[in-house]
């Protein structure tokens, strides 16, 4: 449990105990009233001050100097068939962590304070959602169970496949594409909208290539509308 949660839990327990005492003790002397008042005020003030200081320190120590809201889209294909992460469950409607997660929308969400840029790399994203990514190897949690893709894996035609990753980026309204040699170490572009936020394509296919024809939906829409220009 983090120090912040410990402070909140401890303060909450103290307040609950004091409230129970106040309710049970119907006839209270002035001294008891004063004691209960100040012992209730202290944990509230302490917790508020601690949270404020903790937020300031966290922002100062983070590489982003405060909370951010970044996005990147991704698509995953194995032998020509698209594979999606498992559907999120529960009230939070996400898989991953509060800072790094996915909402069942093929989109990486970075929401909060980022201490180090590698904390929001593609490799870290797949780890927090319950998968794994390294050069030539990708595991993702799907609804039917873990799906594994790696170099040498055969497709239905018996041909050995290669795991490849391609990155679409936008700068000054121009879209470019390049192949990622080490996708796990790639850190997402600090953008909230897509584009200019990244589009990452993973393909496990027998065809080794330098570029892909696959593209994320919002990138295709922006290119078709003329909002951005694709430098092919």
Please check whether residues 161 and 207 belong to one and the same domain: yes
Whole-prediction pTM: 0.74
When mean pLDDT is compared across 26-30, 46-50, 64-68, 152-156, the lowest value belongs to: 46-50
Exposed, middle or buried by CB within 10 Å (0-12, 13-18, 19+), for 101? buried
Token reading at 31:
């001294």
Token reading at 144:
């039917």
Please check whether residues 91 and 193 belong to one and the same domain: yes
Q: Which domain holds residue 30?
A: 3-61
Please check whether residues 50 and 90 belong to one and the same domain: no
The residue out of 27, 45, 61 marking a domain boundary is: 61
Residue 61: C-alpha distances to residues 54, 64, 162 (Å) = 10, 9, 40
pLDDT tens digits, 55-64: 555 555 555 6
Please check whether residues 10 and 118 belong to one and the same domain: no
Please check whether residues 88 and 179 belong to one and the same domain: yes
The tally of domains found in the chain comes to 2
Confidence band of 4 (pLDDT split at 50, 70, 90)? low
- C-alpha span between 148 and 132 (Å, rounded): 9
- Please report the beta strands in the chain, taking only residues with DSSP state E, as ranges in sequence order: 67-78, 81-82, 95-96, 100-102, 107-113, 132-134, 137-142, 145-150, 162-171, 174-179, 199-205, 229-230
pLDDT tens digits, 85-120: 999 987 778 999 989 999 999 999 999 888 888 889
Q: What is the pLDDT of residue 56?
A: 55
Please check whether residues 125 and 46 belong to one and the same domain: no
Whether 222 shows a pLDDT value over 80: the answer reads: yes
Portion of the chain with pLDDT greater than 90, in percent: 58
Please check whether residues 88 and 150 belong to one and the same domain: yes
Whether 136 shows a pLDDT value over 70: the answer reads: yes
Please check whether residues 158 and 199 belong to one and the same domain: yes
The residue out of 61, 78, 104 marking a domain boundary is: 61
103 vs 47, which has greater pLDDT?
A: 103
pLDDT tens digits, 190-214: 999 999 999 999 999 998 899 999 9
Q: What is the pLDDT of residue 114?
A: 87
Please check whether residues 121 and 188 belong to one and the same domain: yes
Please check whether residues 14 and 107 belong to one and the same domain: no
The residue out of 40, 61, 82 marking a domain boundary is: 61
Please check whether residues 44 and 141 belong to one and the same domain: no
Please check whether residues 122 and 75 belong to one and the same domain: yes
């Amino acid at each position: 449990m983090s120090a912040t949660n410990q402070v909140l839990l401890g303060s909450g327990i103290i307040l609950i105990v004091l409230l129970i005492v106040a309710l049970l003790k119907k006839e209270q002397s002035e001294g008891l009233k004063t004691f209960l008042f100040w012992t209730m005020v202290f944990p509230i003030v302490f917790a508020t001050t601690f949270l404020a200081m903790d937020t300031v320190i966290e922002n100062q120590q983070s590489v982003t100097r405060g909370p951010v809201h970044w996005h990147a889209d991704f698509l995953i294909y194995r032998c020509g068939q698209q594979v999606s992460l498992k559907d999120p469950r529960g009230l939070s409607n996400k898989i991953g962590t509060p800072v790094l997660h996915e909402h069942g929308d093929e989109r990486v969400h970075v929401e909060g304070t980022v201490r180090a840029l590698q904390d929001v790399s593609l490799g870290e994203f797949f780890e927090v959602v319950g998968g794994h990514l390294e050069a030539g190897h990708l595991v993702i949690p799907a609804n039917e169970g873990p799906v594994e893709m790696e170099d040498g894996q055969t497709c239905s035609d018996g041909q050995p496949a290669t795991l490849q990753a391609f990155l679409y980026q936008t700068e000054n309204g121009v879209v470019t594409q390049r192949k990622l040699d080490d996708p796990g170490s790639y850190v997402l572009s600090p953008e909230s909208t897509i584009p200019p936020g990244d589009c990452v394509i993973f393909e496990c296919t027998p065809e080794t290539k330098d570029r892909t024809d696959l593209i994320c939906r919002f990138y295709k829409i922006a290119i078709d509308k003329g909002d951005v220009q694709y430098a092919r």
